[in-house]
Structure 1
């Protein structure tokens, strides 16, 4: 099994063809992609004959744009997407060895790793992560939350947007816990309750609602 950060995104968009994209290797600011079975070595800013653009390569991540959608690829999670006709955006997450589902998300336009937690009332950040994302806690509502260590201080606020794959939600409630808990940002029910969820053979499927 892959590590906690392993994920597989399958985004469905209303196109009339299917397109498969994989990351094969990274070379400085260039990346070797396999697009529909054809290997393409692209520099940052270049677009393959199939219309896949390599936007940038940074810290072992290749950022590509496919069909107007931005995606991040790593050598651990090299499969970008399979596009086909569909009505709703869809994200597929594979469980790690402990049965956890993780994904990269964009919060107010900034990237953060999250772990799916259906037992969490809301998206939950620790204080250092919230500060790194530039969240404004001065206007947040102070609250008390129950943790495994007892009652702790936290803040409630509303995020402008949360994007996972092709699913983007606006005005999503979240909490920020004082200190370093939770270690990994939790993707809780203030997001999960607004998408359709299905589990199939170890794969968690999130679908945007109409």
Structure 2
């Protein structure tokens, strides 16, 4: 496995296809009394209580929780956890398309879920599998010690790691199942979204966006 890339964390949007009704909504932060929302893969947008953005109305806001409404349906959002809402969405991760905008350093970052637990991903075609640190594995409750011991090439040389399979990985409303992953002792500020995930998609660069279309 190639050496892990290291880059500064930059918040970027979870992307889903555009629609009149909100398919995917995520709360990514707050600024005072305003929520920062990502709707159907939009750039993050600050919204005040009572205001609407792309068909989603912010009903109420607390420290790390918001209530939004779309087409008469209300849902509670928790920080960095994508939620499907409205007539076009599905909570089962049945979408097929991901669009990731490049950050100022050219990296493709996104929030997502591993086994229904929130993580920060960086798309990395140089990583053989989904790859994460021991700290991230522990945080999401992954018992990596049951994985197969392997040798991992890191920036600091060869280190022991664990190869295992993830039940599911989700980005926006796109979910894939039964993926290989490696847990490494190297400290990383995010999870590498490597080729065990990428190979399930056709991938193309469109200006400053990376578009992934699910193949299976």
Q: TM-score, normalised by structure 1?
A: 0.73
Query: What are the superposed Cα offsets for residues 131-181 of structure 1, whole Å, 9 maximum, x if unpaired?
Result: 00111123111111111211111100000000111221110000000142x
Q: 2:5 — aligned with what? A: none
Taking a change above 3 Å as real, the CA distance of residues 161 and 34 of structure 1, as seen in their structure-2 partners, is same
Q: Match of 2:170?
A: 163
Structure 1 residue aligned with 2:205: 199
Could you tell me how far apart the structure 2 residues matched to 1:47 and 1:202 are? 31
Cα distance in 2 for partners of 1:11, 1:40 equals 19
What is the Cα-based RMSD across aligned positions, in Å? Answer: 2.9
Q: Cα–Cα, structure 1 residues 156 and 114, in superposed 2: closer, same or farther, change >3 Å?
A: same
Contact (CA 8 Å) 1:159, 1:170: kept in 2 or not? yes
Cα distance in 2, alignment partners of residues 143 and 131 from structure 1: 18
Query: Does 1:142 pair with 2:131?
Result: no
Question: Hey, what does 1:65 align to over in structure 2?
Answer: 85
* C-alpha deviation, 1:45, in angstroms: 5.5
State the Cα distance separating 1:183 from its structure 2 match.
Answer: 3.0
Task: Report the equivalent of 2:74.
Answer: 53
Instruction: State the 1:200 CA deviation.
Output: 0.5
Residue of structure 2 in register with 1:42 after alignment: 59
The residue aligned with 2:6 is none
What SS does the corresponding residue of 2:103 show, helix, strand or coil? Answer: coil
Query: Are the equivalent residues in 2 in contact too, given 1:88–1:209 (CA < 8 A)?
Result: no
Contact 2:47 2:58 in 1 (8 A): no
Query: What stretches of structure 2 of length at least 5 have no aligned partner?
Result: 1-8, 23-38, 61-65
State the TM-score, normalized to the length of structure 2.
Answer: 0.72
Deviations 1:51-84 (A, max 9, x none): 453323x4588956233346xxxxxxxxxxxxxx
Aligned length: 180
1:18 pairs with one of 6, 11, 20? 20
Alignment partner for residue 11 of structure 2, among 5, 16, 37? Answer: 5
- The change in CA–CA distance for 1:202 and 1:60 in structure 2 (over 3 A counts) is closer
